[in-house]
Amino acid sequence: MLKAMRVPPVGYASRRIALARLPDLFRMALRGGLALALMLALGGLPAAVPSARAASTGIERAPQGQRLDRSIRRISLSHHVIRIRGLAPICPLMKRVLSMNVRYADLDGDNAEEAVVEAVTCQSKDGSADLVGVYKYEVPDSVRELPTEHAVRSSDPVFAGMTGPLRLELIDGRLVRWFAIAGSPCASGRTRAPGRRSIVYRWAGERFVVDRVDETAPGNC
């Protein structure tokens, strides 16, 4: 008589191989755990390399392990603009702040964001932003404006030839106030293309001071 042959179930051989390798896998895991413990004892895991995108912003990164404080994003900046400028008694309710452009960055190195604001209020004469400034969060729920050198139009030579609105922006992570500058008229009567003057600021502990002034001359006749 032929004896019945037992056929191993599907996967039986692979399970036997896997079981046979368990001691090796255990030894590998043990060596890995010892290596990790040794690495931690010698100073911890290597720091992650910042991404190229983050490095290219020009804004100083927060120290490793710290998160940037974004409390100012909870604030209604338009409400504070109305209060700081005293617009409530002189402007209709719905026209006190007509538009507002806000950008955020840590500009004074305290690991908390400030707000760079350009706002058009009811006091604007030509529809351009008549309020430009940097605002800092104040506990519990307020803001204060950070002082800036050359903050307003004046007889200061830096504003000589200024035409058009005064802008305040973040450019390559730096606070920049810029405006167009007009050239002298051409003899032919042709109008020159306007130039541009940019005031680049840095934080000096108590206020933003001028770091440098860049200028693009008006076009040729």
Q: What is the pLDDT of residues 77-98, one digit of tens each?
A: 999 889 888 999 998 988 899 9
Where among 125, 146, 167 does a domain terminate? 146
- pTM score: 0.64
Residues 138 and 176 in one domain: no
Where among 146, 181, 202 does a domain terminate? 146
- Cβ distance 169 to 187 under 8 Å? no
Query: Encoding tokens for residue 167?
Result: 């802008």
Condensed to tens digits (0 to 9), the pLDDT of residues 27-45 reads: 544 455 544 444 434 444 4
Closest CA to 177 of 209, 221, 207: 209
Residues 64 and 136 in one domain: yes
Mean model confidence pLDDT for the chain: 76
Residues 167 and 106 in one domain: no
Residues 173 and 142 in one domain: no
Residue 142 placed within a domain = yes
Residues 64 and 141 in one domain: yes
Where among 92, 123, 146 does a domain terminate? 146
| Rounded (5°) CA angle 193-212-186 | 20
- Cβ distance 118 to 134 under 8 Å? no
Domain count, the chain: 2
Q: Which domain holds residue 82?
A: 60-146
